[in-house]
Chains A and B, each alone.
Chain A
Amino acid sequence: MATTATPLPGGQRPNIPSAAVRFPAIKTYDQVDREIAGTLGPSLGWFGALGIAILCMLIGATAWTYQIHEGLGAAGYQPPVMWGVYIVTFVFWVGIGHAGTLISAILYLFRAGFRTSIYRASEAMTVFAVMTAGLFPILHLGRPWKFFWLIPYPNWRLIWPNPKSPLVWDVFAILTYLTISSTFLYIGLIPDIAILRDREKNPIRKAILSQLSLGWRNSDREWRHFTRAYLFLAAFATPLVLSVHSVVSFDFAMALTPGWHATIFPPYFVAGAIFSGIGMVFTIAIPLRKAFKLEHYITLNDLDAAAKLCLFTSSVVGLAYLTEFQVAWMSGNRFEQDYFWNRVFGQWAWAAWIMLICNVVLPLSLWSQKLRRNPAWLFILSLFINLGMWFERFVIVVPSLSHEFEPWQWGTYRPTWVDYSILLGSFGWFFMWFLLFIKQLPVMAMAEIKEVILPPMRRRRDFSHDLTQGVVDPDETGATH
C-alpha cells in the first residue's frame, strides 16, 4: 500500500520505505541497465581475486591428487575419529547454500522487499556452494573412484545402493538441491540475459546470450508464463530449504553415537544452515557492494533486514545449543553426559567456546540498529559467523567420535596439511566460480529492480505527485543513525 512518506526530522529513525520507493536513488531503467550491466567486464582487481581463488583451488587439487595416490592416511584421520575436516566442510558448504534459497524462494513467497537486490548473488552462492559441497562426499572416500556406486544405476550385478543409509539419502538430497537451484537460478536469469543480449556488441557473445535467453522478447505473454514458472519453482524450492539439511543432519541423527543421536538435529541444522548462509551472504555482498559501487541497490535497509534474520536464526541456534545441553543432562544416559562434558569442558572446550562466542555471543550485537546498519561491522561479524559455523560442525563431528562408548578407544584428532589444503581449496573453488559468475552474468536482478522502481512515464507533467518527493534517502544525507 503506497502512501506518501513524510520526511522525518533529522536524528529520528526512518521508516522502512514502502516498495514503491525502495530504491529512491535509482530513477530510470537505463540507469539500472547501465550500472549493473556495467559491472560486467574484467578489471584488474577482479583478475587478482580470481588468481588467488584459482591458486587456492590448485593447492587443494594437488593435495587431493596426492591423497588419492597415497591413501586417506595422508589426511589427519585418527581412529576413532573416522570423519573429520572433510565432512565438517561438506556440511558447512551445504548449509551455506540454504540461505540463498531462503532469500530467493521463501522470501519471494513472503513478498519480502529487501530480497530484491541480494537474491541473485545469494542464489548463485547457493549453486556454487552445493557444487563445492558435492565434492566432499567423493573426496572423503577411501576409494573415491568407486563413488558412483552410491548412485542407483541399473547394473548387471543387480546391486543397488542401500536405501537405509543416510549417505544415500544425502546423494538424493544434494542432487535434487543442485538441480532445482540451478534451474531456479537460470530461469530467473532469462530476462536479465535478454537485457545483456540487447546491449551486447560482440557477435559471438551476442549469439551465446541469444541462445541462453531463449528468445526472450519482453512480451506480456512471456512475462505471464515467466512469473508463473518462477512462482512454481520458488514453491518447489521452498521445502528443499527444510528437507535438504534435515537429510544431511540425518547422517548424524540416524547414528547411535552419543551426541549425534538426537531428534533436535533437523531443526538445529536447518536454522544453523540459514544462519551460516546469511553470514556468507554478508561476506560476499558487502565487498561486492563496495567494489561495484552498488550502495544504492543494496541499501542499508536491506542489510538491516538481513541482519534481523541473522539475529533470529542465531537465537534459534543458541536455543538448540541449550537444548542439547539440557537433553544430555536430563537424559540420565551416562554416555551422553560424559560426551557432553568432554565437549564443553574437557578435551574440546576450546572448539566449543569458539563456536558459542562466534555464533551466539557476537551476533547479539545485532540488537543494536546502529550496528545492523554498519556494513563494516556486518562484514567482520560475518567472518566470525563463518568461522563459528564451521566450528559448530567440527564440534558436532569430532568430539562425538573421539569420546564414544568404548573408553579404550577414546582418542583425539589432528588435521594435517592435506586437510587444510583441501579446505582452502574448497574456498578457492567456490570463489573461483562466484567471481566468474559476477563478471559474466549480472550480479543483481535487473528485471526485478525495474519492477519496484518508478516506471518510466511518458509525460511527467500529468503526474500529480511525485512519489519520491520528500523522501529522504538515508544514504545520501550522510546522516548517521
Chain B
Amino acid sequence: MSQDTKKPGVKRREFLKVLGATSAAVAAAGCSEETGKLIPYLVSPDQTVPGVSTYYATTCRECSAACGLIAETRDGRAIKLEGNPDHPVNHGALCARGQSALQGLYNPDRFRSPMVNEGGAWKVITWDDAITRLSQGITQTRGANRAGGAVFINQHESGSFPRFLDTWLAGFGMPPHLSVDFESDAAAIEANRRTYGVAWPSLSFKDAKIIVSFGADFLDSWGANVPQQLDFADARARLDGAPRFVYIGPRRSLTGLNADEWIACKPGGELAIANALAGKGSIQQAATDAGVDQAALQALATELAANKPALVLSGVSGESALDVALAVAAINQASGAVGVTIKPAQPLTGFEGIAHTDQLLGAVERMRAGQVSVAFVRGVNPAYHLPKASNFADAFAKVPLRVSFSSFPDETTELCNLIIPDLHSLESWGDAEPIRGTIALQQPVMDPVFPTNSKTIPVAPGTADVLIQVAKKDATVASKFGAPDYRATLIAGFPGGAQALGAALPKGLAAGTIPARTLAAAPAVAPKTTSIASTQGEFFLITYPSPLLGDGRGANKPWLQELPDPVTKVSWSSWIEIHPETAQRLGIDRGDILEVKTANGTVRAPAFPYLGVHKDAIAIPFGRGHRAAHAMPMFDPKTHTVGEVQWGYGRYARDLGINAFDLLPVGTHAAGGFIWTATKASVSKTGDNEALPSTEGSARQHGRGIAQAVNAADLNKPGAGEGGEAKEALPGDASHAFLPGLRSPVAADAQGDLGAPTAADQGKNKGLYREDDIRGMAKRRWAMTIDLARCTGCSACITACNAENNVPTVGAFWQNATIYADQKPGFNITRGREMTWIRLERYFEGNPDGKFGQDFETRFVPMLCQHCGNAPCEPVCPVYATYHAPDGLNVQVYNRCVGTRYCSNNCPYKVRYFNWFGYGEVDRKQYAFPEPLNWQLNPDVTVRGKGVMEKCSFCVQRIREAENRATLEHRELQPDEFTVACAQGCPSRAITFGDAADPNWTVAQLANDKRAYHVFEELNTYTAVVYLKKVNHPAAGATAPRA
C-alpha cells in the first residue's frame, strides 16, 4: 500500500456522507410551512362516496319568499341547486335567481376577509381584529350615550334572525333594525294588512275563474314568483277550463305577455279603472281617464261579474298605489275571493315585518342631521337603490362608524369604514317561516369558500356569529348570549331541541312557527311626493325591477347578466323601451342611443322599440348601472390579482348599463313604499347607435309553425290535433303519425330500424346490442314534451341547464379576441355566439301589417336539441363526432370534434353551439369560470375547450347515473325515476322528460296528446321533443291572431 497514492474521484465514505446530507436536505425542504391542498377530503365524512353527490336541504335567500332548496354537493363543493320537493312554497321548483345563488356563493368578487378603511385606503384585517374594532366602536358609542341613534339596515328575511338581531341591538341600547326589501310592494302589503290582517295571503290561481292584474307582475318579481308561477301554470293547464287572464297597466311585463288580453292604460289610470270595476264610478269615465277602450273595459266588468270567484291583484307603483290596492281588495271581496283564491289563513310570512322606504328615508334624514352614531348595513344597498336625489352618500358620510356586513363590494360598502363580510346563505345556519305553520331550516352545505385568516377563529364566521362574539365581549350583554354560536342559538330555540332539529334537517322542514319581532306600530305615513302630472317631460317614465336581476342583486352573476331578459331578450346592457309608433314618429331605430332627462338626472342608453309599452310612456328596468365611487381601471383578467377588490359591485357589473334610480325623485306613496313610476321624462336622440346584445333574430315566426296555438273553444272540435292552424304540406312528406318510440323508419343510425314498430320484426330484434343487457339501451327512446300552455317564459330552465352542464357565459367584455377587437360587454352576444343549450324564443303574433296595436299575442318556445331520429347533423360530420346512440340520443363527442361546424349548418333548429374561444381553458383571457366560479363546475360533465361544438345532451350524465344506479341495485329503471335539469327546475312544470318507448313513463302519454306537434315536421327529422300547443283564450267575439 503506497502512502502517497491518492485515489482519484470521490471516496466511498465521502459519497455516502454527501448522499445522506442531500437526502436529508431534500426531505426537509419538502416539509415546509406551506401545505397545498390537493383533494377536498382526506377522510371523507360518513356516507359520502367519491363520485356520488351528497344532497343537503336548505333555504334560498335570493328574495323574501324563502323557497326550499336541495343543494347537490360533490367532494365538499356545492355544484347544483334544486327545489325541495317537500317544501310547501316551491314544491321542488326553482327560479333563475335561485339557481344563480351558486354564482353568488362562488363569486370571484366576494370579500375574502374583513377590511378596514384607514385614511382612504382599505386594509385587510383579521377576524379577531374586526370583532375587536366593532366591539370598541360600540363601546365608544355607548360611552358617549349615543347608542340610541344607531341604525341597522338589514336585508329583509324571515326566521329567527330578525328577533335575534333586535335582542342584540336592544342589549346595546340600540333601536330595532330596519328590515328592508326594495322589491317588495308596500301598497299591496298595506292593503292586505288592512283587509285581511296579514301582509301576504296565499294566492290560488287554480281556484279562480278569472284573473285580473293591475300591474302585479307575479311572474316577474312581485311577491313570491315561484309558487305563483307554479299555481298559474297549473291553472292554465286546465286548457278550456282555465281562467282567462287580463292584464291592466302601461307596460306589458313578462306577466303581461302571458295574459290573454292587455288593457293598456296610461300610468295613474289604474285607479279610475279599479274604482269603476269596484262599482265606484262609471266605466265610461274610467275609460276616458285612463285612455282605454270603453268596450274592452265594459266587457271586463261583465266578465268579472259573471265569473266568481275572481283573483284580482294590484302591483301598481304610482302615487295612488294604496288606493288601487284597496279598491282591488274590495273587488276581490265582492267576488267571493276571500278564502278561495285569496287565503289569509295561509299567509306567506316571509313578507311580514318589512320596513318600507319611508322609514329608511327617515333614517337617512337622521343621518343627515348628525343624529346617527353608528350605522350597520347588511345585504342591502341603499347607496344604489335610493335615488341620487336623496343624497344618501352625503348623509351616510356623517355617521362616524359605518359597518357593512355585506359580502359584495357594492356601492354602500364602498362608503363604509369597516367591512365584516357575512357568509353566503349556503354557508350559514338559519331558519325561515315561508308559510305560516312551517319552519324551513337553513344549513351550511359546505365549508366557507374563503378560509379564515385568524389563528384563533378556525372557520370564517357569519354575521350572527360575529354579533355573538361582540356580545360576549361586553359584560352586560354577554348574559343574554350564552350560546357559543348562532347554530347553538337556533338549536336552543327550536321546538324539540337538538334531536328534533337533527331529525328535521334531511327534509329541511318542521311544523311550527317562529315568533315574530315585536315592533311598535308603524306611524301613519303621509305620502311625500310630487304628482307625476306636475313633472316636466313628454313621456311617462316607467321603471321596474328586472325579473332576473331583481333590484340589482344579480348584476355580478354572469348567468343572470347573460340570460336574455324574458321580455326584451337583451342581455349585458340597459335599454329604453319605447313604442314602435312613437319611435317611428321621432325617427328612432333600435339601438339608437337616447338621452333621457328628468328633473333629477340624465342617462343615456340604447332604444328598444317594444310594442308592449304605452304610446306615451318609456320604460327602463333597474338592476344595472353599478358604479364605483372612485375611478377604477377596466378589469383585465390577465393582470388582475386575486383579492383585488372590484368596487362597483364586481367585475361583471361595474360600469355596465345605467341606473334608472338616477332619474327618479325621492317619493313615497301612502303606504310608505317607493314610487317607481314617479315622473315624466324627455327623450332626445344623441345620434349614436349601438347594437343591442340580443339573442333575437326575428320576433315573428313568418308562418313557420314553430310555436303553435289553438283556441280553447276549438280544443274539443274534431281535427284539433291535426288542424288548428294550416300546415305546409310539402311533396314527399312522410307519414306524420307519431310513432310510439319516435324512431324514424328512414333513420340510418346506429340502430337502423331496430326497435321500430314498423320493422319486419316489430322491433323485437336488438341486433348487436345484448338482449340481456339490464340497462336495455336498445329498447329506450329518450324524449321530451314541452307544454306551451304552461310555459311562461321565465328562463329558469336556461339557468338550470347552465349550472348542470358547465355552459360558459361569454358576454363579459374581456371575452373577445385580444388584437384589434371590440372590448364591449355583450359583444359575443351581438355576434350571436351565445352558448346556452336551451333558449327561449319569444314570438309575437297578431297584426301582420307590422302596425302593432295592443292586441298581440306572445308565444314562448323553449328550443333545444331535438335529438332527431333522422338527424341532419349526423351524416355530415366528417369525423363521427356526432352520432345516434341506441337509446335515441343524438350524442356529441367533444374529444372527436375537429370543429368544421357543418353540423350546425345542417341543423334546421340551430341548436348547436360552438366554442369560439377557450371559454373552458383556464389560462385564457376568455375563461368563463374565474376562481372560485370553477368550483361550481359539474364533475360529471366535460368542460369543453376551444374549437369544439356542443349542444343539449338530454343530461346524459343523469341518464347514465340513473341507469347505473338501477344496475347496481339489480332492478329496472322506474318510470319517472329521474329527470333532466331543465325539467326539474321549471316552475311551470312545462317540460317532461323520459322514455317514450315505455308507455309507463309520463312523457309517452303526453307525446300522444291531441295538442302534440313537432317543429319542422315536414323536414322529416323525427324529433324527440314534442311540443304541446299553447291554448289561447281570446275575448268572446274577438278573433285570435293566426300564426
Contacts and interface: CB of A to CB of B under 8 A. Distances in A.
Interface stretch (B321-329, B674-682, B828-836): B828-836
A150 B899 contact: no
Contact of B704 (A257, A334, A411): A334
A269 B465 CA distance: 75
Nearest to B697: A410
B878 interface: yes
A416 B901 contact: no
Interface stretch (A156-164, A274-282, A348-356, A361-369): A156-164
B696 interface: yes
B877 A142 contact: no
Nearest to B706: A406
B916 A77 contact: yes
Contacts of B910: 79-80, 404-406, 409
Nearest to B822: A416
B876 A78 contact: no
Interface in B888-907: 896-902, 904-906
Given A73-B833, A142-B914, A161 B817 contact: no
A174 to B, nearest CB: 13
B88 interface: no
A406 B872 CA distance: 15
Contact of B908 (A74, A338, A405): A405
A150 B728 CA distance: 38
Nearest to B695: A408
A401 B697 contact: no
A83 B843 CA distance: 27
Contacts, number: 179
Contacts of A338: 702
Given A162-B877, A407-B702, A141 B899 contact: yes
A70 B915 CA distance: 11
B909 interface: yes
5 contacts: A72-B947, A150-B898, A255-B902, A401-B905, A404-B908
A74 B821 contact: yes
A115 interface: no
A70 B917 contact: yes
Contacts of A141: 898-900, 947
A417 B730 contact: no
Given A78-B833, A162-B879, A257 B899 contact: no
A150 B879 contact: yes
B841 interface: yes
B332 to A, nearest CB: 39
Interface string A402-446: 001111111100001110000000000000000000000000000
B914 A408 contact: no
B906 to A, nearest CB: 5
A51 B880 CA distance: 43
Interface of B: 695-698, 700-704, 706, 728, 730, 816-821, 828, 831-833, 839, 841, 843, 863, 872, 875-880, 896-902, 904-906, 908-910, 913-918, 926, 946-949, 1016, 1019
A334 B703 contact: yes
Name, among B730, B841, B902, the residue most crowded by chain A CB atoms within 10 Å (CB to CB): B902
A159 B896 CA distance: 10
Contact of A416 (B706, B821, B875, B948): B821
Interface stretch (A13-21, A165-173, A210-218): A165-173
Contact of A256 (B704, B841, B843, B906): B906
Given A70-B817, A82-B901, A147-B898, A165 B878 contact: yes
Given A70-B818, A254-B876, A408 B898 contact: no
Given A80-B910, A406-B841, 7 more contacts: A73-B817, A78-B831, A143-B946, A334-B728, A405-B908, A407-B698, A407-B704
B704 A405 contact: yes
Contacts of A78: 831-833
A333 interface: yes
Contacts of A146: 898
A82 B904 contact: yes
B1016 A405 contact: yes
B900 A140 contact: yes
Contact of B697 (A66, A142, A333, A407): A407
Interface of A: 66, 70-74, 77-83, 137, 140-144, 146-147, 149-150, 159, 161-162, 164-168, 171, 251, 254-257, 332-335, 338, 401, 404-411, 416-418
A362 B102 CA distance: 63
Contacts of A79: 831-833, 904, 910, 913-914
A257 B917 contact: no
Contacts of A405: 704, 908-910, 1016, 1019
Given A150-B879, A406-B909, A142 B904 contact: no
Contact of B947 (A143, A257, A332, A409): A143
B832 A142 contact: no
B697 A168 contact: no
A70 B896 CA distance: 20
Contact of A167 (B833, B872, B902, B948): B902
A161 B900 contact: no
Interface centre among B701, B832, B833, B863 (most CB of A within 10 A): B832
A75 to B, nearest CB: 9
A176 B730 CA distance: 39
A144 B698 CA distance: 34
Contacts of A142: 897-901, 914-915, 946-949
Contacts of B900: 137, 140-142, 167
A410 B704 CA distance: 13
Contacts of A137: 900
Contacts of A83: 901, 905
Contact of B899 (A143, A171, A406, A408): A143
A55 to B, nearest CB: 19
A141 B914 CA distance: 11
Contacts of A140: 900
B439 to A, nearest CB: 45
Please provide the 7 A-B residue pairs with the shortest distance between their CB atoms, ordered closest to farther: A142-B899, A142-B947, A73-B916, A410-B697, A407-B698, A82-B901, A143-B947
A82 B900 CA distance: 9
Nearest to A408: B841
Given A167-B878, A404-B908, A72 B899 contact: yes
B697 A411 contact: yes
A385 to B, nearest CB: 28
A162 B906 CA distance: 16
A406 B902 CA distance: 17
B1019 A161 contact: no
A164 B853 CA distance: 50
A255 B703 contact: no
Contacts of B901: 82-83, 142
B696 A408 contact: yes
- Quick one: which of A79, A171, A408, A416 has the most chain B CB within 10 A? A408
Given A79-B910, A83-B901, A407-B702, A164 B875 contact: yes
A168 B916 contact: no
A82 B903 CA distance: 10
A242 to B, nearest CB: 23
Contact of B905 (A143, A159, A257, A335): A257
A444 to B, nearest CB: 40
A255 B948 contact: no
A143 B817 contact: no
Contact of B876 (A255, A411, A416): A255
A259 B816 CA distance: 32
Q: Quick one: which of B828, B880, B898 has the most chain A CB within 10 A? A: B898
A167 B706 CA distance: 30
A347 to B, nearest CB: 11
A80 B908 CA distance: 10
Nearest to A414: B831
Contacts of A80: 832, 904-905, 910
Nearest to A76: B831
Contact of A71 (B701, B831, B876, B946): B946
B916 A255 contact: no
